[in-house]
Structure 1
Amino acid sequence: MRKTNYLDGSWNFGIDPKNKGESESWYTGSIPNAISVEVPHIWQREGDQFVSYNGAAWYERQVKIENLSQHHDYYLCFGAVDYSCRVWWNGQFIGEHEGGFTPFEFNIPSTLIKDDNQLSIRVYDYEANAEIPIGKQGSWYTRVSGIWQSVKLEVRAKTFIYNAFVTPNIDQDSLEISSFVTGEINESTSINFVIKGHSLRDEQWGDKESISGTLEMVETTLPIFQEANNLTHFKTILNVHDMKRWSPETPYLYEIEVTVESKGKVDSYQTTFGYRKVEQKNGRIYLNNEPIYIRGALDQAFYPDTIYAVPSVEYIQKELQAAKDMGFNLLRKHIKAELPVYLYWADRLGMLIWAEPPNYVKWTATAQKRFVKLLNEMMIRDYNHPSIIIWSIYNEEWGLEWDLEFDIEKQDHVAKLFDEVKRWDTSRLYCDNSGWTHVKTDINDHHRYFALPEQIKEWENDLDEYVIGQCERNFVTGYQSNGEPLLISEFGMWGLPSIEKLRNYYKGKEPWWFVNQGDGTHQDDYKKPTTALVNHSKFGIREALGDLENLAVSSQKRMFRGVKSLIEEMRKRPQIAGYVVTEFTDIEWETNGWLDFMREPKEEFNRLVDFNGPTCVIADISNRNLWSGESTNFDIVVVNDLAHLREVTIKWEFVDANQQPYETLNGEIHFNMNDETYWKTEDGIYITVPAVSNSEFAQLKLVLISCGQVVASNVEEFTFTNKHAFQKLDSTVYVHHLPQEFSNQLVNHDIEVTSELEKDVIVVTDHLDAEIFTHIHTGGHAIFLAEAGDHLEENGHYPFRELPPGESWPRASSMNYINTEWFNGVPFHPEVGWEGSELFPDYVIPFADYKKEGTKRTINMFGSPRLAEESNVLAGYFQGWLGQNGGSIVHHRDGKGSVLIITWKLINQYGKHPIATQLLNKLIMKVKGESIYEN
């Protein structure tokens, strides 16, 4: 039988920056200036010079072999080495390999085998890596180089099992079993198999009876197994009955052992598999002939210490359980060949996997060849994992140089490769070009990044008018949608982590990746954690959000609020077959994870199942900011992916900020789901807002009950405002260049409006012309309603930056913040929430240089940090790590007076929107006060 000696552990390691090790025969002696490292090993983990080192490096260790056998062969096996390697055994070259993600092995000549042996390996990772599959390592995050997966020495019989493939067919109650054998085959050679139960989640499981049989030699090979030279194919079709099906809820795993006996020597090969079926039809993904709604998370699988390698089995188990606890049923392994041990535990614990090969960058014949070879190797390695139900080929045209829509050669390449992979493995679904323009695909997926609440209307319109309403727009000319499932396979928002927790984790130091390890395309200020350390004390950020720890809490609350609404809008629309949120965990500088980089949950994320669980109750709300006495109604949506629901009750009530219920705002809704997956009320809840003292936050609480058990719950945010509780202002206002309706609304709210521009009046205008500047310079004050930004006819000397409209990855990292202390009495969150709905600015005053996308080129635009230094920033905007800063409420000294610039949308909302009305009243009340300048 086969024997295995793992060579993980202590090795000698040294870099070879002059690439002279081979010419100086380092493989015959010791490595100069070597250090001791633990293999599996990623040399960037050593820190300092190793983090950014590319080129040659050497590994060396002694291998002791006991009980030498002349009747067996010795194979040196590698899980993966990044990127290429050359190997010497006892000073003799035995082989080389290129490719950083998949297994390979070398047969060591018997003449080289001794009791004590020296193993030397030269690894080379290329600095110029555009034509090799790399994924995001080195391009977005820390580079990965070295012997990063396990090494072992196997002793095998001369004739042995190379691998085995099991293909279930649940419709015909059968299994196709194939195995490839290397070595001499004669009439006495027999290939047998035994199948038995393996596990159910974390418990061992096995039927009392096993299934056994014999494989017969066939002349054909499997389409997926292209390099079958010197291998013999054995196969059978096995009829099975009552085999338990694999699913996320019941992840039954079977194990198969295939043995070959030849000339009295026996070799065996074991693997696990699941009995399941995947297909797409009727706009849905089906698992085992039942529709399944995809609730997925993007998982790039980088780790705070071990970078690309998972720290332990226990770590995997904890991570997968955390994903299930948050409501996910799928992880999209983003452009990374996940470790086999991770996939095994995904199989075992019931987590669906969307697999994806690492991309290359430059479109060349060499790059394509390497990429296709890697994809084939990954699909061979991972064939028996039932958890993998989808394979991507490309992601967002990475490697296709982002012009697939216009390049027929690339379209042909993608179409042919799609057909090829479907021929290799018919048991899975395939996505040709995830998220962007499709050619031929099983899944019509989109990558759509929006920031909510700011862009709620844009998000709704994008789903209705583009994703659902124009499916064909997501295909290149000449190809069309054929009713494939619609998925949003990337979306999300940022939530900054606790810097204190990061420093504690890294033993009091800032991690190396605080200096962004990505390439030149990821050196924007907002992608650098060091930017936050510099900018926190600027632009009114500290005054609004507190220290960096409080800021992180606010950022995470904003993220929760945003992703909750993003997902709920998708789940309201039954035409959408699922989603994959960006992303499962933070990775270095990219902080849109639902867990931070240390795999700890973020603020309020104990409520994730409210909207990400299999059953959800959702309020369809059009207006969250209400006046006392105002009546409104909204629908209730119930989505049910899993549990069978019939008679159900929804209990609802409104509570105030202290969780005290409003007496008249509660009720129950009774209905029968009849096991449907989607149900929507018509005008399910009708309320009249009660009298409140001033203006306050309120919440709607929903509870879904079936058979006496709480099945789902949810909480929605509102504000209630008393229209008659406004403080009468003693200021007189001069309205300049604004609609008469606006002036009428001021008068309706007891604000004195004059037609004379006198020194003591406050100007409210959207037109900073010479007359108004004269008033300001001589000691007057003006409120500049600058919501039109670049479209203002007279903007004085104030610059404006339009925030990215529509779909925008950078904007999804952003936050609008406000100094709540200065606006005391107005219900604002420091990270502005739904109270800002319909008011959020489209423009800010830029404090940082920024880029404006033009029709033919990107234009570099200038910010005005000096303006921020001269002013008091009362509300502002930033992206990511407090970069790309701007102000949305800025009070600026000018001459003997001042101008208060606000880009929030107030002109048409004043008097109608409770928060807009209070906001402008507060500005009028305080614009003259010197306290406005205090920092």
Structure 2
Amino acid sequence: MSLSITDRALVSSETGGVPRPEYPRPDRDRSERWLTLNGRWDFEADGIQADITVPFAWESEASGIRRVWLERGTYRRQVVVPVEWEGRRVVLSFGAVHHRAVVRIDGSVVGEHVGGYESFEFDVTDFLVPGVASEIEVEVEAPADKRAIAHGKQRSIPRDDYDGVSFTPTSGIWQSVWLEARGRTYAREVALRGDSLAGIDVSVALQGDEIGGAVVRARVEGVEIEITTDAAGQASGRIELPEPRLWSPEDPHLYRVEVSVGDDELADRVVATTGLRRIETRGEELVLNGSRLYVRGVLDQGYWPDTGLTAPDAEALRRDIALARELGYNLVRKHLKFEDPIWLHEADVTGMLVWAEPACPSRFSEAAAEAFEAQLPAMVERDGNHPSIIIWGLYNEEWGLDWDIPGSAARADVAVRAYDLLRSLDDTRPIVENSGWSHVKSDLVDWHYYEPDLATWKQAVADLAAGERETFPVRLGPDFTVDKSFYGSASFPRTGVPILNSEYGEGFTSLERAWHLRWETQELRRHDRYAGYVYTEFSDVEHECAGLLTEDRRTKDWGGLIPVNVNADTVLVLDMVPARAGADVATPVSGFDLRMQVSHHGRSGLSVTVHGAWVTAGSPTHVVAEVGVVSAGSVEVQPFRLSDAVSLAVPARTDAGRFLIWATDADGAIVARAFVDAAEVEAPNRRGAREGEFVGAEVPGEQY
């Protein structure tokens, strides 16, 4: 029997097995000596005394509690440190706890942490005796009013302005908890950067008995360096690699760097991973390892049914990366969430690019801004080694800035301040200070635009690319539409910064959404000025059914669309505005010339011939018809340059059908696919409408 991702988590809980039993940090491996604390804990909250399954939030079914709007809860469990850890330092680690956690061992406070998305740890050596049972207690506060704290898409009471796109909160312990044995002096932080493309820059911060003047060894593939810490326990150096191998989506080569402190049997050892890659902007282009990069991304909110922000198991995390690749995407924008390190490591291993960003608050205040900024050092420390992360995001759509950067110097200053802070923490990646619009200091001009009318979309995308307009309408509520601009200040440069759309998509049904994906994406590909796009979104979340996949990652009815064809290196850009989903052109169809161009993002040029053929309505789009029409000649295609136009003589058709279009290279291999559906376009039925609301509707005709 095949279990759903939800069922796998529940079965583990109900049968007494340990959920999420894997070592939580494959990118910073200390799995030689560790102990998971996932599983059953005692839980007490607001009259509840029950078992809870860690690491699932108390709102989730998998936790066994399933209570929303609890604002406090206390976890307790017994733990026995293995006797063989005698003499080592013991560290208690938390993947994430929302929102404030006070940790005690046998009644003594060992530490407190505020911030619901960050990983944190406490050295508990002095509180635990190997071989002797102790009680760990975690007291958690999770305020219902989340407006001034970083909470992203978690629902709040009072409701946020964007409550319609918010979901069930994730409170309490929602990532793995574990113990590690380390050396008496150990590497508390290990930062690796490979943007030199010739070696790995290593920075280490020590903690423990003797942090000043300690010798730290860093070794990778037979090359070793020794660095000595200063009085504060900091040290840095570079491992020069004689034959450097770069990390890229095509060849995601990772280096495993062993960092050790000490020489005896109690020495500390951690193996951290990174890759050699450089991401930068050059004028209006994104450049990866010296070559132009076009982002073909999908937004992913990282929710699962009945487990919320916590993946039910490690396989679910790895599978999401594989599914995004199967859909044709080369980047995932992980939305308003520090995702599980296992997911990020899988992105490293498989070559999936990542846009990473923290959760933000929803109302502006100095306290909210400070709480938002407080996450950033932890974000960079935990995730900065991942070569897959090529973009850091910060605020999203002015959430936490009251949708008013242009009208408020204080709010604009906070966005700039967040950018400057993150830049000081990591100078190796582009940063977006406020995703969506109103940019005041950003390495990318990104924009979110949702438009149901394809003719309007086509024109707006063209005008924005040409610089003929800077604004676009944004519907912030049922009765609240504003015109937002690329730019939040007059001083932001209008040229010379890469531009990409980082949210788009439309449609009420899955068929309509697939139709919009097909036609909207081709219009983005029509304009070589753009540096990429991010479709919204990967999978459904609760009431938000905008995903290419369902909430439990099943495919939908895409009406013949194969997403990988839309997101391919080479795509056909058809010169037409379709009528509606399922009927791009109305029947009967008179013969016409269909003009198109080719957008190609490969490494070298192509010589392309275009073919087309009518097939039965609803036929699969991956087949090749034996009889059809061929373009009069081939067209030469250069990377990142829209080709000259080529035409197909589309034969007349009286009944419904599907016109398949495919392009072949000089060797006859198919390099791009598209299609056009022909069907009757029925006028909408508006009988009984109130007088004056509906006069009549023309049946859309062929538009080409």
* Same structural fold, with TM-score higher than 0.5 when normalized by the shorter chain: yes
Contact 2:354/2:388 (CA < 8 Å) preserved in 1?
A: yes
Counterpart for residue 860 of structure 1: none
Question: Does residue 654 in structure 1 map to residue 614 in structure 2?
Answer: yes
Contact 2:72/2:139 (CA < 8 Å) preserved in 1?
A: yes
Counterpart for residue 102 of structure 2: 86
Are the structure 2 counterparts of residues 265 and 298 from structure 1 closer, same or farther at C-alpha, using a change threshold of 3 Å?
same
Counterpart for residue 480 of structure 2: none
Q: Distance in 2 between matches of 1:435 and 1:187?
A: 46
Counterpart for residue 146 of structure 1: 172
Counterpart for residue 582 of structure 1: 536
Counterpart for residue 464 of structure 2: 466
Contact 2:58/2:64 (CA < 8 Å) preserved in 1?
A: no
Which fold has the larger relative contact order, with Cα–Cα distance below 8 Å and residues 6 or more apart in sequence? 2
Contact 1:193/1:213 (CA < 8 Å) preserved in 2?
A: yes
In the TM superposition, residue 668 of structure 1 has moved relative to its aligned partner by: 3.3
Q: 2:510 aligns with which of 556, 562, 566?
A: 556
Counterpart for residue 278 of structure 1: 279
Are the structure 2 counterparts of residues 160 and 702 from structure 1 closer, same or farther at C-alpha, using a change threshold of 3 Å?
same
Query: Which deviates the most, 330-339 or 254-263?
Result: 254-263
Are the structure 2 counterparts of residues 340 and 470 from structure 1 closer, same or farther at C-alpha, using a change threshold of 3 Å?
farther
Contact 1:635/1:681 (CA < 8 Å) preserved in 2?
A: no
Deviations 1:331-390 (A, max 9, x none): 111111111111111111111110111011222222111110112211111010111100
Q: Please list, as runs of the form range in 1=range in 2, the aligned pairs for 1:195-206 lying within 5 A after superposition.
A: 195-196=220-221
Question: Does residue 426 in structure 1 map to residue 427 in structure 2?
Answer: yes
Q: 1:130 aligns with which of 139, 143, 147?
A: 147
Question: Does residue 492 in structure 1 map to residue 505 in structure 2?
Answer: yes
Amino acid of the structure 1 residue aligned with 2:636: M
Normalising by structure 2, we get a TM-score of: 0.84
SS of 1:599's partner is coil
Q: Distance in 1 between matches of 2:369 and 2:318?
A: 35
Counterpart for residue 668 of structure 1: 631
Q: Distance in 2 between matches of 1:232 and 1:664?
A: 73
Q: 1:35 aligns with which of 17, 41, 50?
A: 50
In the TM superposition, residue 49 of structure 1 has moved relative to its aligned partner by: 7.8
Contact 1:130/1:360 (CA < 8 Å) preserved in 2?
A: yes
Q: Which runs of 5+ in 2 are unaligned?
A: 1-29, 157-165, 471-484, 579-583
Q: 1:6 aligns with which of 30, 36, 56?
A: 36
Counterpart for residue 73 of structure 1: 89
In the TM superposition, residue 70 of structure 1 has moved relative to its aligned partner by: 6.0
Counterpart for residue 527 of structure 2: 573
In the TM superposition, residue 119 of structure 1 has moved relative to its aligned partner by: 1.3
Q: Distance in 2 between matches of 1:267 and 1:914?
A: 71
Question: Does residue 265 in structure 1 map to residue 266 in structure 2?
Answer: yes
Q: 1:905 aligns with which of 687, 697, 701?
A: 697
In the TM superposition, residue 134 of structure 1 has moved relative to its aligned partner by: 0.5
Quote the RMSD (CA, aligned, Å): 2.9
Are the structure 2 counterparts of residues 627 and 665 from structure 1 closer, same or farther at C-alpha, using a change threshold of 3 Å?
farther
Are the structure 2 counterparts of residues 351 and 121 from structure 1 closer, same or farther at C-alpha, using a change threshold of 3 Å?
same
Q: Please list, as runs of the form range in 1=range in 2, the aligned pairs for 1:411-810 lying within 5 A after superposition.
A: 411-451=412-452, 455-470=453-468, 473-481=485-493, 482-494=495-507, 555-604=509-558, 607-622=562-577, 625=585, 630=590, 632-642=592-602, 644-657=604-617, 666-671=629-634, 673=636, 675-682=638-645, 684-687=647-650, 689=652, 692=654, 696-706=655-665, 707-719=667-679
Deviations 1:261-284 (A, max 9, x none): 067731012211011000111312
In the TM superposition, residue 645 of structure 1 has moved relative to its aligned partner by: 4.4
In the TM superposition, residue 683 of structure 1 has moved relative to its aligned partner by: 5.2
Q: 2:206 aligns with which of 181, 189, 199?
A: 181
Deviations 1:478-506 (A, max 9, x none): 322242111111111245xxxxxxxxxxx
Query: Which deviates the most, 602-611 or 284-293?
Result: 602-611
Percent identity reads: 27
Amino acid of the structure 2 residue aligned with 1:677: F
Larger fraction in helix: 1
Q: Which runs of 5+ in 1 are unaligned?
A: 18-32, 197-209, 220-230, 496-554, 720-826, 829-834, 837-874, 876-887, 916-935
Counterpart for residue 3 of structure 2: none
SS of 1:370's partner is helix
Counterpart for residue 116 of structure 2: 100
Query: Which deviates the most, 1-10 or 136-145?
Result: 1-10
Amino acid of the structure 2 residue aligned with 1:267: D
Contact 1:11/1:39 (CA < 8 Å) preserved in 2?
A: yes
Counterpart for residue 338 of structure 2: 337
Contact 1:282/1:483 (CA < 8 Å) preserved in 2?
A: yes
Amino acid of the structure 2 residue aligned with 1:905: A
Deviations 1:524-550 (A, max 9, x none): xxxxxxxxxxxxxxxxxxxxxxxxxxx
Deviations 1:422-457 (A, max 9, x none): 222111110011012100111111100011xxx122
Question: Does residue 211 in structure 1 map to residue 238 in structure 2?
Answer: no
Q: Distance in 2 between matches of 1:218 and 1:471?
A: 54
Are the structure 2 counterparts of residues 903 and 319 from structure 1 closer, same or farther at C-alpha, using a change threshold of 3 Å?
farther
Q: Please list, as runs of the form range in 1=range in 2, the aligned pairs for 1:47-66 lying within 5 A after superposition.
A: 50-66=66-82
Counterpart for residue 355 of structure 1: 356
Contact 2:55/2:175 (CA < 8 Å) preserved in 1?
A: yes
Counterpart for residue 752 of structure 1: none
Deviations 1:791-844 (A, max 9, x none): xxxxxxxxxxxxxxxxxxxxxxxxxxxxxxxxxxxx24xxxxxx77xxxxxxxx
Q: Distance in 1 between matches of 2:64 and 2:129?
A: 38
Contact 1:166/1:177 (CA < 8 Å) preserved in 2?
A: yes
Are the structure 2 counterparts of residues 121 and 569 from structure 1 closer, same or farther at C-alpha, using a change threshold of 3 Å?
same
Counterpart for residue 406 of structure 2: 405
Deviations 1:527-583 (A, max 9, x none): xxxxxxxxxxxxxxxxxxxxxxxxxxxx22122111111111111121211110110
Amino acid of the structure 1 residue aligned with 2:489: T
Amino acid of the structure 2 residue aligned with 1:449: Y
In the TM superposition, residue 125 of structure 1 has moved relative to its aligned partner by: 0.6
Amino acid of the structure 1 residue aligned with 2:245: K
In the TM superposition, residue 69 of structure 1 has moved relative to its aligned partner by: 6.1
SS of 1:458's partner is helix
Contact 1:891/1:901 (CA < 8 Å) preserved in 2?
A: no
Contact 1:181/1:232 (CA < 8 Å) preserved in 2?
A: yes
Q: Distance in 2 between matches of 1:234 and 1:697?
A: 70
Are the structure 2 counterparts of residues 457 and 162 from structure 1 closer, same or farther at C-alpha, using a change threshold of 3 Å?
same
Deviations 1:88-146 (A, max 9, x none): 21122222211111122222262653611111221111122111100101241001111
Are the structure 2 counterparts of residues 700 and 169 from structure 1 closer, same or farther at C-alpha, using a change threshold of 3 Å?
same
Counterpart for residue 12 of structure 2: none
Q: Distance in 2 between matches of 1:335 and 1:134?
A: 8
Contact 2:214/2:228 (CA < 8 Å) preserved in 1?
A: no
Amino acid of the structure 1 residue aligned with 2:91: Y
Normalising by structure 1, we get a TM-score of: 0.64
Q: Distance in 1 between matches of 2:627 and 2:354?
A: 47
Counterpart for residue 378 of structure 1: 379
In the TM superposition, residue 73 of structure 1 has moved relative to its aligned partner by: 2.7
Q: Distance in 2 between matches of 1:902 and 1:628?
A: 27
Amino acid of the structure 1 residue aligned with 2:660: K
Counterpart for residue 482 of structure 2: none
Counterpart for residue 15 of structure 1: 45
Amino acid of the structure 2 residue aligned with 1:615: T
Q: Distance in 1 between matches of 2:440 and 2:407?
A: 12
Q: Distance in 1 between matches of 2:72 and 2:589?
A: 74
Q: Distance in 2 between matches of 1:471 and 1:214?
A: 56
Contact 1:673/1:679 (CA < 8 Å) preserved in 2?
A: no
SS of 1:477's partner is coil
Amino acid of the structure 1 residue aligned with 2:652: V
Q: Distance in 2 between matches of 1:6 and 1:558?
A: 46
In the TM superposition, residue 659 of structure 1 has moved relative to its aligned partner by: 6.2
Contact 1:218/1:235 (CA < 8 Å) preserved in 2?
A: no
Contact 1:890/1:901 (CA < 8 Å) preserved in 2?
A: no
Are the structure 2 counterparts of residues 239 and 603 from structure 1 closer, same or farther at C-alpha, using a change threshold of 3 Å?
same
SS of 2:69's partner is coil
